[in-house]
């Protein structure tokens, strides 16, 4: 009986029945944990064909795109496919009112027309290596959690340095399973990446904020770039002499399409999940972090959008910022709704009781894991006020008010000016000018000024005085809490509000002038309080980290020998599942595929989110779909799969049983927005652009057939 209860406890604790669809699995462990089940579901590949150190494999076609997305190589000439929203920053970077690539799209009709994109990188995974024993050999029970983390970091840095010595690779050691295991990851980064093609936002961002996280979906969320290398096929900074990269592997592109229950897998870089989160943490997410983000960003975004819709130049400047902000804002709304509706707090409490019953079954287990949950709970409950204030400073005054954030960068300049070191002053002035060029390119002072008035006001209204920066005392005494008057004075008198004033200052920089600058004064005050709050939070973080490590370690011990996946941490993972429909609520059924007919049904020429171009309508009316249509003559747009993904997976390839590309992952679904915390197999779906729609847009809409011709098309 006790053995039976133990087995049931494990299942309840993990809140899974080891379903094939759940899990973001480490590639180096799929032979041990996953490949047999994958093959039972229809996968025709071996584990070695998916991940290999010594041979070419699927992982060699997968890249980190930029700093937070995934991409896949789809030709032997280094062509990379990712999401439109992943390439959005680059598209915006190259857009002007005269050449509005966001609105009109962009297609290079030859390699000479491909646009170099400074700052954009793609990164390949070379290999993964378990270094847990090496790290654990220097860790002791007597160490505090901070000492433990510092030691692990130092040893990990040495391991990474030795692993890449004499090579052009870079590497890092990352912790997994709550700090219970460590893996070395070796990478190869390419810095010459050029923009090749992007549909207009009316396709690539169709539905915008309204359709974000929603199904049915009709968004052609893709863009195309190319990797360039030197003559030896090695990474190199931009040069006209560079040539298209020759990849170890590129994904063949399938025209066979998808059918319900087909096997589908995704390789990519999921950013972060919290599947081992406790009930107390979930309550904190609902009541503090998500609630604050929803309220603050909602106000800021309304101000930005009003100015963006009124002026194309402002729209281009703020397009990428606005998109990033609204994406996480709506995610937070959906997550709170799902956490409450699906009673996730109650589910987590059941898990915690099961865990407690397990460690109480043995004095040794109780000694080892007995304080795990109390460490987490006490830390979360004790840090609440600090967490709230810290988030408000970040969201309203640092991220929210651009002038304050930009002015804060002058701290080093002030120190050097006071030192009088002419060489260092010249160097920092030069760097300051470089940063300023980048900042002002995507900045509009009147817009930011409107935002600042709202942000300072709501900060004061929602944060206790004891957590407010000193500048708020000035606002109270000198400006009688008139935030508009304070902000107007700051923007009128600061040298940071426009490039002309800043350039004049940098020609003759003065520590005295800087010390009197109202934006700089405000930024110093705000950052001082921010650092103070962070210091107050540090001991709570240490207790939390220890509790989390013990909690996850206990789960691993309970399930020794069984397949358990670690939380996502922006390292390459594999998820596998099926093409499948779902029933989101009573009397509602969603099919697994959408078509171009749905785009036309949603069209609204008076709503910027649902504008449809004349050319796309012409192709639709003529049913001019070429070889990309379904058997019934309709044009597929998007499809659903049961793959377990999260942020960072954007742009990941959806791959069929033969290792061929069938789509590009770009979103999750509204009904399962709690998925980063608890996987919901009946509800959770991955939304993907059908590769046939991507090819149709490239071929028929853009008439860029040369790009199709360089792909390996499988019929």
Question: pLDDT for 89-147, tens place per residue?
Answer: 999 999 999 999 999 999 999 999 999 999 999 999 999 999 999 999 999 999 999 99
Tens-digit pLDDT profile for residues 616-652: 999 999 999 999 999 999 999 999 999 999 999 999 9
What does the pLDDT read at residue 540? 96
Q: How far is C-alpha 264 from the chain's CA centre?
A: 22
What does the pLDDT read at residue 449? 98
Determine the Cα–Cα distance for residues 413 and 92; give it in Å rounded to an integer: 30
Domains and CATH numbers, the chain: 2-121+191-274+567-714 (2.40.10.120), 279-548 (no CATH)
What does the pLDDT read at residue 340? 97
Tokens describing residue 282: 């979930």
Evaluate whether 452 touches 373 at the Cβ level (below 8 Å).
Answer: no
Active-site residues, by number, are 85, 221, 650
- How far is the CA of 379 from the CAs of 139, 376, 385, 677, in angstroms? 23, 5, 12, 19
Determine the Cα–Cα distance for residues 661 and 648; give it in Å rounded to an integer: 19
Tens-digit pLDDT profile for residues 200-226: 999 999 999 999 999 999 999 999 999
Give the 3-state secondary structure of residue 144: coil
Mean pLDDT by 10 residues, the chain (715 residues): 35 41 94 95 98 96 97 98 97 96 98 97 98 97 95 98 97 98 98 98 97 97 98 98 98 97 98 97 98 98 97 96 95 97 97 96 97 98 97 96 96 91 91 93 97 98 97 97 97 96 94 96 97 95 97 94 94 98 96 98 97 98 98 97 97 98 98 96 97 98 98 96
What pTM was estimated for this model as a whole? 0.93
Tokens describing residue 104: 């009109």
Q: 601: how many CB neighbours lie within 10 A of its CB? A: 11
Q: Side-chain half-sphere of 317: how many Cα atoms within 13 Å? A: 22
What does the pLDDT read at residue 20? 53
Residues whose CB is less than 8 angstroms from the CB of residue 628 and which lie 6 or more positions away in sequence, other chains included: 255, 635, 636, 692, 693, 695, 696, 699, 700
Quote the Cα angle for 459-461-465, to 5°: 80
* Element at 538 (helix H, strand E): helix 518-558
* Element at 713 (helix H, strand E): strand 713-714
């Amino acid at each position: 009986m006790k053995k039976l209860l133990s087995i049931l406890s494990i299942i309840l604790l993990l809140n899974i029945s080891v379903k094939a669809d759940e899990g973001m699995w480490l590639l180096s462990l799929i032979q041990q944990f996953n490949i047999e089940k994958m093959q039972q579901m229809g996968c025709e590949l071996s584990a070695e064909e998916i991940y290999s150190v010594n041979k070419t494999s699927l992982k060699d076609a997968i890249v980190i795109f930029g700093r937070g997305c995934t991409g896949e190589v789809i030709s032997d000439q280094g062509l990379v496919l990712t999401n439109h929203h992943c390439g959005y920053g680059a598209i915006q970077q190259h857009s002007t009112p005269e050449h509005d690539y966001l609105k009109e799209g962009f297609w290079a009709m030859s390699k000479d027309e491909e646009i170099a994109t400074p700052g954009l990188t793609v990164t390949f995974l070379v290999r993964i290596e378990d270094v847990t024993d090496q790290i654990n050999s220097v860790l002791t029970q007597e160490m505090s959690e901070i000492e433990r983390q510092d030691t692990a970091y130092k040893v990990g840095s040495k391991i990474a340095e030795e692993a890449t010595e004499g090579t052009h690779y870079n590497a890092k050691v990352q912790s997994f399973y709550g700090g219970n295991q460590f893996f070395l990851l070796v990478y190869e980064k390419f810095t010459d990446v050029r923009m090749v093609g992007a549909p207009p936002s009316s396709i690539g961002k169709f539905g915008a904020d309204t359709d974000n996280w929603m199904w049915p979906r009709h968004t052609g969320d893709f863009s195309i770039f190319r990797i360039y290398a030197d003559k030896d096929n090695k990474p190199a900074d931009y040069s006209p002499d560079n040539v298209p990269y020759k990849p170890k592997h590129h994904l063949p592109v399938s025209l066979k399409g998808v059918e319900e229950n087909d096997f589908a897998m995704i390789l990519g870089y999921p950013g972060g999940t919290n599947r081992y989160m406790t009930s107390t943490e979930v309550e904190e997410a609902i009541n503090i972090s998500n609630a604050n983000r929803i309220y603050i960003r909602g106000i800021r975004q309304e101000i930005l959008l009003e100015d963006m819709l009124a002026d194309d130049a402002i729209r281009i400047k703020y397009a990428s910022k606005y998109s990033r902000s609204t994406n996480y804002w709506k995610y937070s709304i959906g997550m709170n709704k799902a956490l409450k509706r699906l009673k996730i707090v109650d589910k987590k409490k059941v898990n915690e009781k099961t865990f407690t019953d397990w460690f109480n079954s043995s004095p040794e287990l109780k000694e080892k894991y007995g304080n795990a949950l109390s460490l987490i709970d006490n830390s979360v409950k004790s840090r609440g006020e600090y967490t709230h204030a810290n988030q408000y400073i970040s969201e309203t005054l640092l991220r929210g008010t651009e002038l304050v954030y930009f002015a804060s960068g002058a701290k080093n300049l002030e120190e050097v000016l006071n030192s009088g070191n002419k060489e260092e002053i010249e160097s920092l002035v030069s760097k300051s000018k470089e940063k300023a060029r980048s900042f002002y390119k995507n900045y509009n002072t009147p817009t930011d000024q409107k935002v600042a008035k709202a942000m300072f006001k709501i900060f004061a209204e929602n944060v206790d005085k004891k957590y407010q920066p000193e500048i708020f005392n000035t606002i109270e005494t000198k400006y009688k809490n008139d935030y508009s008057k304070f902000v107007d004075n700051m923007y009128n008198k600061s040298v940071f509000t426009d490039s002309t004033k800043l350039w004049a200052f940098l020609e003759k920089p003065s520590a005295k002038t800087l010390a009197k600058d109202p934006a700089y004064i405000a930024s110093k005050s705000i950052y001082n309080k921010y650092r103070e709050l962070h210091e107050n939070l540090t001991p709570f973080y240490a207790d939390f980290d220890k509790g989390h490590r013990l909690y996850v370690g206990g789960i691993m011990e309970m399930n020794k020998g069984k397949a358990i996946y670690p939380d996502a941490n922006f390292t390459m993972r594999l998820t596998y599942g099926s093409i499948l429909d779902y029933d989101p609520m009573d009397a509602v059924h969603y099919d697994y595929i959408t078509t171009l007919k749905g785009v036309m049904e949603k069209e609204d020429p008076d709503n910027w989110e649902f504008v449809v171009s004349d050319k796309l309508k012409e192709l639709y009316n003529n049913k001019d779909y070429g070889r990309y249509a379904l058997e019934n003559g309709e044009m597929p747009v998007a499809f659903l799969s049961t793959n377990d993904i999260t942020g960072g997976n954007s742009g990941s390839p959806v791959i069929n049983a033969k290792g061929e590309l069938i789509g590009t992952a770009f979103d999750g679904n509204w009904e399962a927005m709690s998925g980063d915390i608890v996987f919901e197999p009946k509800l959770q779906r991955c939304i993907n652009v059908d590769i046939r729609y991507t090819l149709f847009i490239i071929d028929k809409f853009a008439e860029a057939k040369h790009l199709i011709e360089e792909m390996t098309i499988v019929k």
